[in-house]
Amino acid sequence: MKSFYIILFFFISIHGRAQSFPEIEFQTYTDKDGLSDPYCNKIVQDKNELIWIGTRNGISRYDGIRFKSFTEYFKGKDIIKIGNVYNMLPIQNGGMWIGSYDQLFYFNSINETFFRTNKKGGNVYSEKDKVMLKLFDNYYLLPKNVTKDYPFLKPLLNRNNDCKKYYSFIFDKKGELWSWGGNYIVKIDKKTRKVIKKYNFKNKAGKGFQKLHFDSRNRLWVSTWENGVFIFNPKNENLDRVNTVFNNQFVALGFINWKYQGRNYIVVLGDVSLLIIDEETLNFKMYEDKEGRFRIYDALQDKQGNLWLATEFGLKFINSKQNFFHVIPILDTDVTKNKFQKAVTSIYEYNNIFFIAKRWFDGLYVYDKEWRFKQHIIQFEKHSDKNIDKNFSEILGVSSHGDNNYFSHYYGIYKLNKNGKIKKIIPKGFKEFEELYLEEIVPENKQVWWIKYKKGVFKFNPIKDEFTENYVFQLNKYKEIVIHSIFLTKKKKLLVSTSKGIFQLNRNKNNFERINIKDLRNESLYSMCEDKNQNIWAMKSNGFVGINLQTKKIFYSSTPQLNIIYGKKICADKYNNIWFHTNEGYWCFIQKEKQIAKYAYKIGLPDNRLEWFSMEVKNGKDGFVYAGARNAVIRFDPEKIINFHTKTKVLISDIDANDVRLSTKKINDDTEELVLTPGNYLFNMSFSVPDYSAAKNYELYYNLVSNDEKWIKSKDGTITISNLSKGNYIIRLKGKNNLTGKNTPLKTIRLTVKPFWWQSWWFFTLIFLSSGFIVWGITRYVWLQRLKSQRYIRNIQESEMKTLRSQMNPHFMFNTLNAINNFIVKNNTDSASDYLSMFSKLMRNILENSKQDFIPLKTELQTLKMYLKLEQVRLNNSFDFEITIDEEIDEENFSIPPLIIQPYCENAIWHGLRNKGTYGLLKVEIKSNKNNQFQIVIEDDGIGRVESAKLKKNETEHKSYGMQITEQRLQLINPQNSVNIIDLYYENGKTKGTRIIINLIKID
């Protein structure tokens, strides 16, 4: 064994302030993104939650997807420039007052029309339900709706009122009115607008007071030109300085209140980048962006809590939900900068220390629990061979035991003690620089660790610092097996994922055996994790699966449509959600809702599309999920994700038909209506979900048929319909939030294109009635002719039915009298008398039923039972009979033709049971089938048709006229009625009997 000390390391200590301030990341929009100009002066949000930006060249609108800019408009033949906009005020009716240096405009945002006033742009503000304009000469009341140029603006103050020279009015939290001038503050009577008291501060005003602002505590903040910021106390009339940056020698243009993560801050507008002051402690922090120091002219906290900044370098955005994740840079040191792309492949936490392994060839980084950089170990040893020397920089796995840390690499393990001494451990039987590729280290207890290497799994004892066993996956037995990962479950089951599925250590046999998972036999599996339900989750080459080890079945599999590639590592967080890398970002499968939350690269996450890396995804001890990235670690907060909700709905940004802008009529919160005049249209619609905290993480869908669930994904939130003509249409819109996997409420647009007069309903009605009258005359003539023909055919059918019944009734009487004659010859007269009495009742039923076309099933069965009892007596009780009916058949209300069943029963007795020689059984079963059908099944266990045919040659022939007649009757009633006769046999080929199935269509 070799012992030596670390050759190279770096240590940097970073000291932070005592107070914790928000971690802020800027996102900047410029003219390249669609702004009319990168120099921004003003930001406002309208009632539809759209963001409007005043720039040096007109105004721009942002809906969460796209910018739309307005720099000029046509007035007749003239082109009117909007100019440098520094003031905007949206009002409830969809209008907006816009102040530029040269002109005051009224803008109707619904139809996008501009109107000029006869005033230059001043300070436009709202006072309760009024819209006010402050110019140097007076205050003016502005109208709420403008439909023409140069509307009348009403001045409010007389010439002698001192308030005319003040800058603007501002109300405090108690409703008191204040104003200011160059170096003074005044309190004003809100009714008379006369000065109550004036406070002069000539020595503290610098080059002049800029703005007054009341915070959440109702304290009055004062901004100055080049003299910082102050707080004014009316009680003692003191103007107290708030000490901040640059020795307070900076321009402060104003303030806004910003509530972030439960704390109240003051955002200072001015030339000090983003300067925020904690209202409670008055501590401060300044944030600069990549371009360095910048000036903020205006700021806005939108309705979702996001912060927008109007700067000379563009529109800057700070996401209120950015605490979902935090990107921790793991940057190259000067020593390790090289051409290779580097990414974090292992994250290990021990004793409030984070060990970060970075490949290629970047060694090990050490951070404390606050993610302050502590140490960089480039190599644990040096070697003259360049390739080996590089490999010494590759740390593949990390673990700890006591005060010792262990690092796996290509050739073995390095042990680093608390004194910095290193010990190199190589498995027995292997050469010093034999490439083993030791990677994952999985501790089982104090004496047993499991370490994956390229040919199998080592068992390692950290107390003795030695490899105790080597489990090799034999190549001659498992030819193409590649080992990908090892995992120890809560029940101490050691699993190995390979290119041929999952293997488990059989501790009794001391070998690894394949687990035969249904539907997952020879498929490659990568990293594994275990959820709270003790289910195993594993990454595949194109997705992930959930496996129940007890049942050895897959209970969940990602759909191929997700197109998951580059995903190798996986973990489960404390909420039972499953995290993994994909080619599109970092995804989280929320088990409870069976939804996937997607954190895409486009929202500012490092791009990890490096197929040859297995970048780490790990559940931290602090409850965060840590993911390796290119030169960074990303910390996700599952609690914020699981509790995230948004009520933002789909918003229609623009509609035009044949290049004419249109607006919808609101029916309710989720339904709008649009009616177009007659014509054919090229119809365009733009829509978005103005959820700016997740603006780039929404997928937009539309549906053009109300009862069709086939949704079409819109890449940029636009819909185009060509040749839109008369008719009623329904367009449905929705957005899918990739952070939660949930959809917004549906937005429905009822679109109607009116018809031309020749397409109108009354025109078609007139044509229809005229044509209908002609068609009616022709149809009536044809119908009458058909009616005559049908009556003729019906009369013929009725005559045929009567003929068949007339044949049927004498046939039945003949057979019955023949039975009585045989009985009298063979038996005594008393029995003959009883038999004749029973026969008379039967004849009475038959005569009554024969008059009806249809009779109740109950009546038919009563007649059948009388007949069968007579036959029993005649044949000396040599057979028995059973009649069964389905419970769902109502005998009294179920109608059938009379004497339908009896002929087939008679045939069964005469030709089947009579010559059997042993006791026989006749079964009659009436069943209801689907499709309005039912069956009558007559089955006997007699001699069968073949033997009966042989006997007929040797005895008096008994012709079965009844069956033939009955089948003809059934066909006349309904051609779909049928009769099937089936010969029954035993397995040895002997006759078992005969079954007759009568299929009848139910009679309504």
Domains and CATH numbers, the chain: 27-320 (2.130.10.10), 651-759 (2.60.40.10), 789-1001 (3.30.565.10)
What integer is the mean pLDDT of 374-400? Answer: 76
Identify whether the C-beta of residue 355 lies closer than 8 Å to the C-beta of residue 375.
no
pLDDT at 368: 92
pLDDT at 818: 66
By the 10 Å C-beta count (0-12 exposed, 13-18 middle, 19+ buried), 834 is classed as: exposed
User: Per the structure block, which two tokens stand in for 746?
Assistant: 């549906």
Residue 559, phi then psi, degrees to nearest 5: -80, 145
Confidence band for 18, pLDDT divided at 50, 70 and 90: very low
CA dihedral 702, 704, 707, 709 (to 10 degrees): -40
- Distance between CA 66 and CA 648 in Å, rounded? 17
Nearest to 12 by CA among 420, 379, 349, 367: 367
- Judged against a pLDDT cut of 80, whether residue 824 lies above it is answered with no
Confidence band for 957, pLDDT divided at 50, 70 and 90: very low
- Strands ordered across the beta sheet of 991-1001: 879-885, 920-928, 933-940, 991-1001, 978-985
Q: Which residue has the higher pLDDT, 255 or 709?
A: 255
Q: Which residue has the higher pLDDT, 916 or 448?
A: 448
The most confident of the ranges 653-662, 782-791, 872-881 is 653-662
3-class secondary structure, 741: coil
Q: Which residue has the higher pLDDT, 235 or 360?
A: 235
3-class secondary structure, 992: strand
pLDDT at 528: 95
What integer is the mean pLDDT of 72-101? Answer: 92
- Distance between CA 865 and CA 883 in Å, rounded? 9
Give pTM, 2 decimals: 0.63
- Distance between CA 525 and CA 516 in Å, rounded? 13
Distance of CA 752 to the CA centre of its chain: 31
Confidence band for 12, pLDDT divided at 50, 70 and 90: very low
Confidence band for 161, pLDDT divided at 50, 70 and 90: low
User: Per the structure block, which two tokens stand in for 853?
Assistant: 């076309």
Nearest to 66 by CA among 985, 717, 932: 717
Specify the range with the lowest mean pLDDT, choosing from 170-174, 192-196, 755-759.
755-759
pLDDT at 19: 61
CA dihedral 719, 720, 726, 731 (to 10 degrees): -10
Distances (CA, A) of 740 to 268, 550, 577, 592, 651: 34, 31, 12, 12, 19
The strand pair at 747-753 and 727-737 is best described as: antiparallel
- Judged against a pLDDT cut of 60, whether residue 11 lies above it is answered with no
DSSP conformation class of 975: T
Nearest to 843 by CA among 878, 825, 819: 819
Specify the range with the lowest mean pLDDT, choosing from 63-77, 87-101, 245-259, 603-617.
603-617
What integer is the mean pLDDT of 707-725? Answer: 86
Q: What percentage of the chain has pLDDT greater than the value 70? A: 87
- Distance between CA 345 and CA 627 in Å, rounded? 9
As beta bridge partners, residue 712 has: 702
Average pLDDT, the chain: 85
pLDDT at 570: 94
Confidence band for 198, pLDDT divided at 50, 70 and 90: very high
What integer is the mean pLDDT of 825-843? Answer: 73
pLDDT at 610: 66
As beta bridge partners, residue 498 has: 483, 501
pLDDT at 15: 31
- Write out the DSSP string of 488-526: E-TT--EEEEETTEEEEEETTTTEEEEE-BTTBSS--EE
- Judged against a pLDDT cut of 90, whether residue 347 lies above it is answered with yes
Q: What percentage of the chain has pLDDT greater than the value 90? A: 43
- Distance between CA 251 and CA 270 in Å, rounded? 5
pLDDT at 843: 80
Nearest to 247 by CA among 232, 227, 267, 266: 227
Specify the range with the lowest mean pLDDT, choosing from 211-215, 442-446, 451-455, 608-612.
608-612
Q: Which residue has the higher pLDDT, 908 or 156?
A: 908
Q: Which residue has the higher pLDDT, 167 or 552?
A: 552
Identify whether the C-beta of residue 700 lies closer than 8 Å to the C-beta of residue 687.
yes
Could you report how far apart the first and last alpha carbons of the chain are, in Å? 98
Confidence band for 874, pLDDT divided at 50, 70 and 90: confident
- Strands ordered across the beta sheet of 413-416: 2-5, 421-425, 413-416, 404-408, 397-401
- Judged against a pLDDT cut of 80, whether residue 136 lies above it is answered with no
pLDDT at 798: 57
pLDDT at 976: 84
Give the model confidence (pLDDT) of 323-346 as tens digits.
678 888 887 765 555 566 788 989
Specify the range with the lowest mean pLDDT, choosing from 223-237, 293-307, 726-740, 847-861.
847-861
DSSP conformation class of 693: G
Give the model confidence (pLDDT) of 768-805 as tens digits.
888 888 888 888 888 888 887 767 566 555 555 555 45
pLDDT at 9: 33
Specify the range with the lowest mean pLDDT, choosing from 59-68, 486-495, 624-633, 844-853.
844-853
